[in-house]
Amino acid sequence: MHEVGAGWLMTSLSASPFMVSLVQVAAAAPMFLLALPAGALADIVDKRRYLLVVQAGMAVVALALALITFAGLMSATLLLLFTLAMGIGTALTMPAWSALTPELVPASDLPAAISLSSVGVNVARALGPAIAGIIISLVGPWATFAVNALSFFGVIAVLALWHRTPQQSVLPAERLFGAIRVGWRHARSSRHLQRVLVRALAFFLGASAGMSLLPLIVRGELKGSAEQFGILLGCVGIGAVAGAMFLPRIRRLMAVNRLMTLASLIYAAVLLALAWIQDFYLLIPVMLVSGAAWIAVLSSLQVSAQTSVPAWVRARALAVYILTFFGSMAMGGLMWGLIASWLSISISLSFAAVIMVLGVGVGWWVKLPALSAEDLAPSLHWPQPLINVEADGERGPVMITLEYEIDTTDADAFKEAMEEVRRMRHRNGSFSWQLMQDTENPQLWIELFFDESWHDHLRHHGRVTRAELKIESAARRFQIAGKPVRIRHLLKG
């Protein structure tokens, strides 16, 4: 409802396509700065209390927006500032909210639960715009903002009534900046997550044109009303809900990458239809189809992102995905708005369709991972380190060395296997990984890496997954028989 109210109100405050497109930019831009910190917070604090505070703040902002608009004091700049504030609240909310799903259902039900969550979002997308359009036409944009403010109290009530069992740990919570660094290292070293991010960028950069320019299409090209704008947005939501109902059956018949290709091509055709069809009634089925294509892509990306990372870093990994999503929408909205201002709306949408087709080409090289067959549960196979010195938990960094004895004929294969070990160490928060060969004894190889503190190293013990145990085993099979791998822990003096 805020998107509809702000987008429509901006068209009356400014006739510039650039200013109208800035509404989407202001809503999405906070993700650039806040997504990863928000994900880190969600991983280290109680998610329920955190979400209660954020939702209360968003309710206050929405109510203030309604009152100022009702008083007739709203300007284009002020509207952008309020939209920015709502975007900040959304940035703080989304990683924590997304990471809740695996806490509510068993792993086997996670894909269906994510799709169901997407249906809930798109039911709101179907009803919200239609209700907003009616409210705007009968009362005005201020009433839309007021109803939106009231909606936050429903979310607050649900969170207040939810009895969440916090995860217990003998270790203190991670520090925020350390948690951010660890989350970033994980994202940089997770091939599965990186594939999801590339495919998200390839789709949303072009797809952003449709939503960012839709208010101008309705008011400028169609000479339409707020009700018609709400109806078209509602059609997107209805199409998404209908599409989500058929997704389980479609997934049984079609691999995820083929589904992504088909849905992306359909959405490119939708952009071309928006560019050149200037009849409101013909655009209704177009928007229904766009919603189905949108939910097919969004659900596929979210399932891949959720199932490609272990629980301990899930909110941070999802924050990086969300950052990519909103970053693509923000950059795309800005770019397509500028092109529409310089050339025309139709040309801007046509260029966006071409970008989407090129994005389909990216999919031939960058495949989404199938539903993860990897066991991401903690292996807990590392022995507890012996410590005979005074070690405050925050003392560090800690250097860990592992000494391998490898036959010289196996050296190349060992180094190749250790490359996967390197990625694994970085995924779990370590840094400055090295593999060194002894000059005197060429059979001796020393792996070394650092954890930021003693507590971080103990956390590392709990992060290694059963799938990563196989990576370690693949490297250690080159160890000369009968020779143990010697492990040392060295603390900074």
What is the pLDDT of the chain when averaged over all its residues? 87
| pLDDT tens column, 191-227 | 999 999 999 999 999 999 988 888 888 887 888 787 7
Read off the DSSP letter of residue 56. H
What percentage of the chain carries pLDDT values higher than 70?
94
In this model, does residue 290 exceed pLDDT 80? yes
Q: Which residue has the higher pLDDT, 72 or 107?
A: 72
Q: What is the pTM (predicted TM-score) of this model?
A: 0.81
Angle at 136 between CA 130 and CA 142, to 5 degrees: 125
Band (293; pLDDT cuts 50, 70, 90): very high
Band (98; pLDDT cuts 50, 70, 90): confident
Q: Is residue 24 helix, strand or coil?
A: helix
Provide the CATH topology of domain 398-491: Alpha-Beta Plaits (3.30.70)
Angle at 398 between CA 395 and CA 403, to 5 degrees: 155
Q: Is residue 403 helix, strand or coil?
A: strand
Under the phi-then-psi rule, with left for phi > 0, alpha for psi from -120 to 50, and beta for the rest, what region is 272?
alpha
| pLDDT tens column, 235-255 | 887 888 888 888 888 888 888
Band (423; pLDDT cuts 50, 70, 90): very high
Peptide bond into 397 cis (omega under 30): yes
Residue-level pLDDT at 489: 93
Q: Which residue has the higher pLDDT, 306 or 52?
A: 52
What percentage of the chain carries pLDDT values higher than 90?
41
Closest CA to 377 of 303, 469, 458, 290: 469
Residue-level pLDDT at 180: 92
Residue 170 burial class via C-beta count within 10 angstroms: exposed 0-12, middle 13-18, buried 19 and up = exposed
Residue-level pLDDT at 122: 59
For residues 332-344, average pLDDT: 88
* CB within 8 Å of 343: residues ≥ 6 apart: none
Give the β-pairing of 431-437 and 398-405: unpaired
Q: What is the Cα–Cα distance from 15 to 20, expressed in whole angstroms?
A: 8
For residues 447-471, average pLDDT: 93
> For residues 241 and 123, is the Cβ–Cβ distance under 8 A?
yes
Residue-level pLDDT at 446: 97
**Backbone phi and psi for residue 368, each to the nearest 5 degrees, phi listed first:** -65, 140
In this model, does residue 288 exceed pLDDT 90? yes
Closest CA to 133 of 10, 14, 228: 228
Band (391; pLDDT cuts 50, 70, 90): confident
Band (5; pLDDT cuts 50, 70, 90): confident
In this model, does residue 129 exceed pLDDT 80? no
**Backbone phi and psi for residue 158, each to the nearest 5 degrees, phi listed first:** -60, -45
In this model, does residue 347 exceed pLDDT 90? yes
**Backbone phi and psi for residue 435, each to the nearest 5 degrees, phi listed first:** -125, 120
Q: What is the Cα–Cα distance from 183 to 200, expressed in whole angstroms?
A: 19
Q: What is the Cα–Cα distance from 363 to 366, expressed in whole angstroms?
A: 5
Determine the straight-line distance between the first and last CA of the chain, rounded to whole angstroms: 57
Closest CA to 355 of 249, 201, 474: 201
Domain ranges of the chain: 2-164+175-365, 398-491
DSSP assignment string, 297-335: HHHHHHHHHHHTS-GGGHHHHHHHHHHHHHHHHHHHHHH
Band (43; pLDDT cuts 50, 70, 90): confident
Q: Give the CATH number of domain 2-164+175-365; options: 1.10.630.10, 1.20.1250.20, 1.20.210.10, 3.20.20.140.
A: 1.20.1250.20
Written as six digits, the tokens of 56 are 């209360």
* CB within 8 Å of 441: residues ≥ 6 apart: none
In this model, does residue 9 exceed pLDDT 70? yes
Angle at 422 between CA 420 and CA 426, to 5 degrees: 120
Angle at 357 between CA 356 and CA 359, to 5 degrees: 60
In this model, does residue 305 exceed pLDDT 90? no
> For residues 222 and 278, is the Cβ–Cβ distance under 8 A?
yes
In this model, does residue 48 exceed pLDDT 90? no
Q: Is residue 458 helix, strand or coil?
A: helix
Read off the DSSP letter of residue 479. B
What are the beta bridge partners of residue 487?
402
Closest CA to 187 of 325, 37, 320: 320
Which of 17-31, 56-70, 77-91, 303-317 has the lowest average pLDDT? 17-31
Band (167; pLDDT cuts 50, 70, 90): low
For residues 324-351, average pLDDT: 88
What are the beta bridge partners of residue 399?
450, 490
